[in-house]
Structure 1
Amino acid sequence: MKLRFEGRICYIRTLAVEDADEIVQLLLRNREYWAIYEPRHPDSYFTAMVQREKIRESIYQSRENREYSFGIFEVATNKMIGHISIYGIKRLPFLSALVGYSIDESATGKGIATEAVGLVLTFGFEELRLHRIEAYVSPRNAGSVRVLEKSRFQREGLLKEFLYINGEWEDHYQYALLEREF
């Protein structure tokens, strides 16, 4: 199922196997930048073969209504400048999911992440009929904290030693947005 949602400065669309080479270029450009807040990946992760497999898995997950992975593209250039997913989708009694995203370092600070999050929230609340969408963010990641707060997420707490990143257990904030607040 191909999904596409348009914004003013970016659009998001579900990934296709043909996107693997472009994803690899995005990953390589941001390998060090994204590793600040995300676990490091083995060299094999940065290959078209592995990325094609990840896309195939995301297509399967979307058919099962468990996860939707999107590329983020600049409207002006159609260049892939990030990715965003709504994942861990749970049906009743929860009706919840998580959102996660990464933006090309060269495209940060332009409102792109905020717009992409808004597009995914609209999909999650209006199409998937979710009640609650959550996000986890490193307290050190001020840019992502701003994105979530501009998107009306509320900070609910601090998850102590939540993720193992680059040899350290790191705390993360838990944010959530409820359907009625959207």
Structure 2
Amino acid sequence: MILLEGKKCYLRILKEEDAGALTELLIRNKFYWSIYEPKHHNSYYTVPVQREKIRESLYQMRDKREYSFGIFDSSTSILVGHISMYSIKRLPFQSGFIGYSIDEQQIGKGYATEAVKLVLKFAFKDLGLHRIEAYVSPKNAGSIRVLEKAGLQREGLLKELLYINGVWEDHYMYAVLEKDF
């Protein structure tokens, strides 16, 4: 099992036993996260579906294509978010995407920035990746700050990238290279 330790939080690969806590986190943040993410069917917010999603991410990890972590508060070990390194491509790309969500009650406490930095370090040092990318809504000022604090730079605007709440939404493309981290 992979454990990445920071000061405010630690990241641990999600296990099937985490499905209950993850489901509670998703339910608590259903409205808040739906502002920037595609809508999910009601079954998504159930323990069996989350357990299956965790199983799938573990298979993806075995194939070195995805790493899904829970973000846990260092002092309480409470799950405060999740973060993934996904769509990992090997040569000639050596790249991957990062995506994360923090509990609405925990935003502004530095968890996301620290978690992104921990995953970037893992991606560059342990996975040997060359480039990490992230998409972010131009309306999501908090997430833009997180990416910029973590060293990612805006590279452009992707027009009508994601279908969210009945509308095609533009997203910025952010990225960081190993040499710049």
User: Where does residue 36 of structure 1 map in the other structure?
Assistant: 35
SS at match of 2:138: coil
User: Where does residue 94 of structure 2 map in the other structure?
Assistant: 95
SS at match of 2:75: coil
The 5-angstrom pairing of residues 55-66 of structure 1 reads 55-66=54-65
User: Where does residue 23 of structure 1 map in the other structure?
Assistant: 22
State yes or no: 1:54 paired with 2:53: yes
The 5-angstrom pairing of residues 1-182 of structure 1 reads 2-182=1-181
SS at match of 1:41: coil
SS at match of 1:139: coil
Q: Which amino acid aligns with 1:170?
A: E
Q: Which amino acid aligns with 2:72?
A: F
SS at match of 1:94: coil
Describe the superposition over 1:123-171 as per-residue Cα deviations: whole angstroms up to 9, x where unpaired.
Answer: 0000000000000000000000000000110100000000000100000
Partners in 2 of 1:39 and 1:91 — Cα distance? 28
Partners in 1 of 2:79 and 2:102 — Cα distance? 9
Structure 1: unaligned runs, 5 residues or longer: none
Q: How many residues align?
A: 181
RMSD: 0.4
SS at match of 1:49: helix
SS at match of 1:129: coil
Describe the superposition over 1:13-65 as per-residue Cα deviations: whole angstroms up to 9, x where unpaired.
Answer: 00000000000100010000000000111110000000000000000000000
Measured after TM superposition, the shift of residue 76 of structure 1 is 1.1
Q: Which amino acid aligns with 1:139?
A: P
SS at match of 2:134: strand
Q: Which 4+ stretches in 1 moved above 6 angstroms?
A: none
TM-score by length of 2: 0.99
Partners in 2 of 1:39 and 1:57 — Cα distance? 20
SS at match of 1:171: strand
Partners in 2 of 1:10 and 1:109 — Cα distance? 13
Partners in 2 of 1:16 and 1:112 — Cα distance? 20
